[in-house]
């Protein structure tokens, strides 16, 4: 019997995780703004023997997320697994102040709003796993995606801190940093996506990492090596490499 909460379950990685984690006797709390997409997912969750619960909510709204948590806690107590997956990449100029405001509201504050209302009861129960979905883009600012990269970099520092703060209470925190995944977010990407994978395959890798309670779940390996190396290089050298790669892609 498990209580699982997933934000951003209406498409892409969140939907794939919801299906992959659905098992008999589990209650799957699915959170997103597009309620009709969650309704459409529900029968597939039921087919796997789990019980779906739909929560139409915006992670940017602190009160709305508190209400979601109140409903979850009232029904089944603190979650065994809480996955803050909802995120956006944004449209237009990804380096602008407006993009920063919009993206941080969802990708950073939205994660905080998704976790905070559950923490007191999880701490009291002294059990539960917290999983936050970041990105390999958090390792290094990439041209035209400053706000997105900054949001995912913030999650790295924040979850490192949270992991140690919650450890004495018996809670574990994992950050997931995937490379490219085929979802609504990337479908219209005009550039090549090296080592791209399906949402199902990504969900499979995440579940394996969650089972091991890995502090960081990162994949695919060649991309992990590339971004980590890029982050270690002196900025001038990293900039040079990124410029060369933009020239090769013709933009």
Ligand X SMILES: NC(=O)c1ccc[n+]([C@@H]2O[C@H](COP(=O)([O-])OP(=O)(O)OC[C@H]3O[C@@H](n4cnc5c(N)ncnc54)[C@H](OP(=O)(O)O)[C@@H]3O)[C@@H](O)[C@H]2O)c1
From the number of C-beta atoms within 10 Å of its C-beta (0-12, 13-18, 19+), residue 101 rates as exposed
Kindly tell me which of 123 and 144 has the beta carbon lying closer to ligand X. 144
Which residues, numbered 88-127, are part of the site for ligand X (CB under 6 A)?
A: 88, 106, 110
Kindly tell me which of 160 and 169 has the beta carbon lying closer to ligand X. 160
Task: Please pick, from the candidates 13, 45, 149, 173, the single residue that binds ligand X as defined by CB under 6 A.
Answer: 13
Q: Under the criterion CB under 6 A, does residue 220 sit at the interface with ligand X?
A: no
Residue with tokens 């979650």: 79
Kindly tell me which of 187 and 247 has the beta carbon lying closer to ligand X. 187
Q: Under the criterion CB under 6 A, does residue 39 sit at the interface with ligand X?
A: no
Q: How far is CA 190 from CA 185, 234, 251, in A?
A: 12, 28, 10
As a whole number of angstroms, the distance between CA 132 and CA 111 comes to 7
Kindly tell me which of 183 and 214 has the beta carbon lying closer to ligand X. 183
Q: List the x/- string, 62-91, binding to ligand X by CB under 6 A.
A: -----------------------xxxx---
Task: Please pick, from the candidates 5, 6, 18, 59, the single residue that binds ligand X as defined by CB under 6 A.
Answer: 59
Task: Please pick, from the candidates 104, 142, 185, 242, the single residue that binds ligand X as defined by CB under 6 A.
Answer: 185
Task: Please pick, from the candidates 23, 34, 92, 116, the single residue that binds ligand X as defined by CB under 6 A.
Answer: 34
Contact between residue 174 and residue 213 where contact means Cβ atoms under 8 Å apart = yes
Report the interhelical angle of 35-47 vs 12-21 (nearest 10°). 30
* Catalytic residue, candidates 139, 148, 158, 219: 148
- Which H or E element spans position 4? strand 2-7
Q: Which residues contact 49 (CB under 8 A, 6 or more apart)?
A: 22, 23, 24, 25, 26
Nearest to 75 by CA among 5, 172, 166, 24: 5
Give the Cβ contact number of residue 146 at 10 Å.
Answer: 17
Q: Under the criterion CB under 6 A, does residue 166 sit at the interface with ligand X?
A: no
Q: Under the criterion CB under 6 A, does residue 186 sit at the interface with ligand X?
A: yes
Question: Where does this chain touch ligand X (CB under 6 A) — which range of 10-18, 90-98, 157-165, 204-212?
Answer: 10-18
As a whole number of angstroms, the distance between CA 33 and CA 29 comes to 13
As a whole number of angstroms, the distance between CA 234 and CA 194 comes to 23
Kindly tell me which of 166 and 176 has the beta carbon lying closer to ligand X. 176
- Minimum gap (Å) between residue 224 Cβ and ligand X: 12
Catalytic residue flag (residue 191): no
Instruction: Please identify every residue annotated as catalytic.
Output: 148
Residues making contact with ligand X (CB under 6 A): 7-14, 32-34, 37, 58-60, 85-88, 106, 110, 133, 135, 178, 180-181, 183-186
């Amino acid at each position: 019997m498990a209580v699982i909460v997933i934000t951003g379950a209406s498409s892409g990685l969140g939907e794939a995780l919801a299906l992959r984690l659905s098992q008999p006797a589990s209650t799957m709390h699915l959170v997103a703004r597009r309620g009709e997409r969650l309704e459409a997912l529900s029968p597939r969750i039921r087919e796997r023997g789990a019980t779906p619960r739909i929560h139409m909510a915006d992670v940017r709204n602190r009160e709305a997320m508190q209400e979601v948590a109140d409903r979850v806690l009232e029904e089944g107590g603190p979650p065994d697994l809480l996955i803050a997956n909802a995120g956006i990449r944004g449209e237009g100029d990804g380096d602008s102040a407006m993009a920063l405001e919009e993206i941080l509201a969802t990708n950073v504050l939205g994660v905080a709003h998704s976790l905070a209302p559950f923490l007191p009861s999880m701490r009291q129960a002294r059990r539960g796993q917290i999983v936050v979905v970041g990105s390999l883009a958090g390792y290094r600012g990439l041209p035209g995606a400053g706000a997105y990269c900054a949001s995912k970099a913030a999650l790295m520092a924040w979850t490192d801190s949270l992991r140690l703060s919650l450890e004495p209470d018996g809670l574990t925190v994992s950050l997931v940093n995937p490379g490219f995944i085929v979802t609504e977010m990337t479908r219209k990407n005009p550039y090549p996506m090296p080592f791209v994978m399906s949402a199902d395959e990504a969900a499979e890798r995440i579940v394996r990492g969650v089972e091991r309670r890995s502090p960081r779940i990162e994949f695919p390996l060649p991309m992990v090596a590339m971004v980590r190396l890029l982050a270690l290089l002196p900025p001038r050298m990293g900039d040079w490499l990124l410029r060369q790669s933009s020239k090769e892609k013709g933009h």
